[in-house]
A = this chain, B = another copy of it.
Amino acid sequence: MLILTEKEIQNHYVMKDAISDLKKGLNSKKQGLITNPHRTVIEIPDNQASVLYMPGAELSQKIASVKVVSIFPKNPKHGMPTTQGILMLTDAQTGKHLCMMNASYLTRLRTGGLSGIATEKLARKDVKTLGVIGTGAMAFEQVLGVLEVRDIDKINLFNRTQEKAEQFKERLIDFGVKQPITIAANADEVVQAADVICCATRSNEPVFNGDLLKDGTHINGVGSYLPHMQEVDLTTIQKASKIVADDLKGVEEEAGELIHADRESDWSFTDLYGELSGLPDHNGLVRENDKEITFFKSVGAAYFDLVVAIGIYSKLQEIGVGSEVEV
């Protein structure tokens, strides 16, 4: 069995790879070649923690996987990360257990990659200013996903704790991002200037005012992944002419702001434009004009991890990275 660390994956598998592998995966999903059973959540009540088991299978590449993620919110107090994820791949032709890999960067990368694909299909071709609301754990790869698909010439960040926005800016610069990066005093500033907005927060209340959105804006929202959360407000949902889900079933069960809108307003889940895998797959845009506001809502699903993990395994195995162990 091949063991792959986060560092090994980061050194050899980048956003461009993830977007390419996710597109293959979306195609498999469309063809009915993805098995996506319900995840199992084990609650650890004493620690207000949980361990999630997310199995899945890709029947064209014939690989099954399970991602195991522990979520321990009190961990940072003890100097440990809140979430710790690993993923295991099993050959679905021989039953052999092939690979175990760290799943932290993988999860962030696939989330950013999905926003990249959504931006490629939904955002105007001439977008220039990227606004980022929330510079926490998932935000970095959101920026990379958008940069991969559009010629952005300015990045505008907002975070509740400004210091963290400063650190995030430094990290982008260190990574090699050349575009000028500014830090906004509030979310309004970000929204009023943005052509594309990435939200990656853990907020329970909307993080910006939808009235301020410019015509033609595209929004990626990867927070609000639990029913009680809200990241995008009802105005934005109502103004969006096309709302696309990463996974329809997942979004209906988990996307807090949409669940809220479905219950409390005229908007309903039947108004969703569709699922990322179901959008027209010609290379053109899905948006019909430059005025439309579009919104991509992402909550994640095991098969996105799976198809990126297959890509990581294939690439790193081929170039001889990782440690082979007998189990």
Contact = CB atoms under 8 A, between A and B. Distances in A.
A134 to B, nearest CB: 23
A42 B55 contact: yes
B94 A80 contact: yes
A56 to B, nearest CB: 8
B66 A53 contact: yes
Nearest to A44: B92
Interface stretch (A82-90, A177-185, A225-233): A82-90
A319 interface: no
Contacts of A3: 3, 325-327
A219 to B, nearest CB: 32
A166 B134 CA distance: 69
A161 B40 CA distance: 42
Nearest to A93: B47
Q: Count identical subunits in the complex.
A: 2
Nearest to A103: B327
A40 to B, nearest CB: 5
Contacts of A86: 88, 97, 327
Contact of A71 (B83, B95, B97, B100): B95
Contacts of A53: 40, 53, 55, 66
A51 interface: yes
A245 interface: no
A135 interface: no
A70 B47 contact: no
A66 B51 CA distance: 10
A5 interface: yes
Contact of A80 (B49, B75, B78, B95): B95
Contact of A84 (B47, B84, B97): B97
Nearest to A85: B97
A136 interface: no
A96 interface: yes
A57 interface: yes
A68 interface: yes
A39 B86 CA distance: 19
A122 B75 CA distance: 46
Interface in A16-69: 35, 37-38, 40, 42-47, 49, 51, 53, 55-57, 59, 62, 64, 66, 68
A153 to B, nearest CB: 39
A101 interface: yes
Interface string A92-120: 11111100111000000000000000000
A95 B55 contact: no
Contacts of A325: 3, 323, 325
A90 B102 CA distance: 14
Contacts of A84: 95-97
Contacts of A44: 57, 59, 62, 64, 92-93
Nearest to A73: B95
Given A3-B325, A326-B5, A64 B42 contact: yes
8 contacts: A3-B326, A40-B53, A46-B59, A47-B92, A51-B92, A64-B70, A68-B90, A68-B97
